[in-house]
Amino acid sequence: MTWVSWMLGSPVPFALALAVDLTLLATAAVAALVWWDGRRAVSPSSAGRRAVRHAAVTSGGAAALVVAGVLVPPLFFALGIVSLGARGTATVPLVALVGALAVHAVGELTWPRPRHRQREARLVARSTADVVPAATRRLAWTWVAGIAVVAASFGLLSDGPRSISRVVTPYEAYTVAPFPGWLWTVPIVVAAVVAVVASEVVLRLVVSRPAVEDVDEEWDMWLRRRVARRVERATQLVLGLTLGGLVALGGLSLRWLGLGLGDGVRTGPGLSPGHVLAGNVLLAVACGVVLVALVALVWPARDPAPRAAGARVAEEAAA
């Protein structure tokens, strides 16, 4: 079945058209939200406006990659497109996250430099903790630790690279696939570690970049915190969704193993309440992980932009 994608403008398979259209629509919505958020910022000077615009463009490009990485694999899986393979589908969101962090790194390295003929440099001692929200940063590392623990546990439980079995009789075992064994978990762990290390590198770039000229230190630190929040929220989101997806797949496999319904051709061994219960618990944990990651993404920052220096001076003079 073919469909004319209004984004691609030509007849393509329906699944591909739907995936492309939904991904680009979501990307456009995120870009519009970033632009609107940038318009709300109080820019005390032309240099401040230029810095906000640069940060917004960088964040918009990074968000587009994150949206594509998060949406495309489940769309392809739900629509029956499995050309990416198991490992490819599982690691695409993390690869997209690394790409988004690379965009942020390029944005920090190309930060607008002072344009005045006489340039001044403010030397201020800063650390990553000064600009990074501690809770979100800890959450990202918690997700990575969870991925490592779950990957090791599932790898030890698996009966093969992507299957799990239960003993039915001394001479018979019932096997279910797919299960996130070593074939899935090893590349996921490697990609997750690369992603979280890349996020730390980007945060160091945010801390060490040149200060915005013609603005006070308070406003400059606010902009750094703003960019660092975006980096950490995207990082923890993708890591949290990856952990939730990994746990959910393991839970579904254990449920199938416990139900023992067979494959439609051969009759299964019947119910195993312990495996079903374990699968249900894992599915509940996966839902909790995804919920926490989504809440952390949209949780209000309560970090308003400082008012322009001129506005403060005018208020003081009127008083």
DSSP output for 8-62: T-SEEEHHHHHHHHHHHHHHHHHHHHHHHHHHTS---SHHHHHHHHHHHHHHHHH
* Per-residue pLDDT, 2: 45
How confident is residue 161, by pLDDT bands cut at 50, 70 and 90? confident
Whole-angstrom Cα distance, residue 126 to residue 199? Answer: 17
pLDDT value, residue 80: 61
The DSSP 8-state label assigned to residue 304 in this structure reads P
Average pLDDT over residues 183-200: 94
pLDDT digits (tens, 9 = 90+) for 219-253: 888 899 999 999 999 999 999 999 999 999 999 99
Read off the pLDDT band of 148 (50, 70, 90). very high
- pLDDT band, residue 1 (cuts 50/70/90): very low
For residue 175, the cross-strand partners are 165
In 3-state terms, what secondary structure has residue 168? strand
Query: Taking all residues of the chain, what is their mean pLDDT, rounded to a whole number?
Result: 81
Torsion of Cα atoms, 82 then 83 then 87 then 89, to 10°? -60
226: nearest Cα among 212, 243, 238, 241: 212
Higher-confidence residue of 293 and 173: namely 293
Backbone φ, ψ for residue 164 (5° rounding)? -140, 145
Q: Tell the burial category of 212 from Cβ atoms under 10 Å away from its Cβ (0-12, 13-18, 19+).
A: buried
Chain centroid, CA 214 distance in Å: 34
Band (pLDDT 50/70/90 cuts) for residue 314 is very low
- The maximal CA–CA distance of the chain, rounded, in angstroms, is 90
**Residue 39 CA neighbour count, 13 Å, CB half:** 6
- Give the tens place of pLDDT for each residue, 70-120: 887 777 666 665 566 667 778 889 999 999 999 999 999 988 776 655 445
Q: Is the pLDDT of residue 293 over 90?
A: yes
* pLDDT, tens digit, 9 for 90 and up, residues 11-52: 556 655 666 666 677 667 766 766 666 665 666 778 788 888
Q: Give Cβ neighbours of residue 228 (< 8 Å, ≥ 6 apart).
A: 131, 132, 133, 203, 206
